Amino acid sequence: MAPSPTIRRLLRETAELSPSAPNPSAAFHAAPVSDADLHEWHFTLLGPPSPSPYAGGLYHGRITLPPQYPLKPPNFRFLTPSARFEVNREICLSISGFHEETWMPAWGVRTALTALRTFMAEPGTAGQVGGLEAPEHVRKRLARESRQWRCGGCEKTNEEVMKEWWAACQEQGVKVGEEGAEVGLEVLPEGMAVEARDVGKGKGKESETPPKAEEPSNAQQQPTVPSIPPPAPQQQPHPPAAPSEPLRPPPPQHHSSAFSPTPTPESTQRAAEARLTASELAPATSSQRPMMNLHAPPLAAASAALEQHAALQTVAERREERNITATAAAGTMTIDRAIAGVFLMLVVMVLKKIFYPASGGVEGAPGGFGEGRSGWGVEREL
């Protein structure tokens, strides 16, 4: 069975980013986590050059490719603390899954990582999902500590991964320099512009204000983000309205799903009691309490079944009545015909007796046929 277009594309990009590729990029190393799953990749990215605060830093992350790739864009996550992006959080970019409308199928993993490195050098993260704000000295310190960061899946530090990759790039004739010092920013393809887009214009994911990163104590510790719980909405008493004006309900307050407080059991109980009437709030006695059988079928389904059964029974009864009526009518018609036949036979016999009386003996004998005939003739002549 031939592989799908997505698998063929992923195999081609894996070969283009392998150490044996004719023109590898020394700015990053990327490969699938395993040969069994080509949709999950890990990458190690060299920070943008000076004067960027990430110069000399090495950052590890994940790339998740959708099943519809390259028709749909990949998603990116940084696993190494950088104080630029949140750890293990999808980044909202114009080339990520947050904005499928700006993605071009001609772009690939290499193009996306090149654009991601260029975007990392740009200042400012205001309004970006997955972005962090931190002082420059914090980002520089994390850049130095990022070289010893170790990925649990790859079982290597970022420095070990990139040193092996740089050696392979040098064998292909790529200038790397000491610790990647000569690796600058690559030129983006024509028509490609990477920017932090408004998440509301994309797939409708929830927008958040970028938190500020704190300084971690060591390289392995991720920058903690102070999370301040939103204050619970306070109900302020409304002043009584004037007698001449009708009471109007207060305008509805719309809260974002990210800041909506979790209702407590007490508030839920009060809200439920507010919707109940006085009769429903009254305690039910044992005689008034309805008995409910949990194993009984739903009333709606039972009522529908009974109505359907009654309708079928009515149709059957009507058919039976019609059959009985037809049978009785056929029997009555047969009896009427028999009576009519008997009556007709009696009429014929009476008429025969009248017009053809019985005659006996030989013609001419007294009372015989001849006598009667002659007498009939005489009577007729008279």
DSSP output for 132-182: -B--HHHHHHHHHHGGG-EETTTTEEHHHHHHHHHHHHHHTT----GGGTT
Q: Assess contact for 97 and 75: CB atoms under 8 A.
A: yes
Contacts 24+ apart (CB under 8 A), 236-242: none
Query: In this structure, what DSSP letter does residue 358 have?
Result: -
Give the integer Cα–Cα distance in Å for 66 and 6: 9
Residue 169 annotated in active site: no
Q: Pairing state of beta strands 150-151 and 58-64?
A: unpaired
Provide the 10 A C-beta neighbour count for residue 326.
10
- Residue from 92, 151, 154, 169 carrying the catalytic annotation: 92
Which residue, among 4, 72, 3, 79, has the nearest Cα to 41 in the 3D structure? 79
What distance, in Å, lies between the first and last C-alpha atoms of the chain? 125
Q: CB within 8 A of 73, min separation 6: which ones?
A: 66, 95, 96, 97, 99, 100, 103, 112
| Residue in 58, 96, 53 with CA at minimum distance from that of residue 213 | 53
- Would you please indicate which residues are annotated as catalytic (active-site) residues? 92
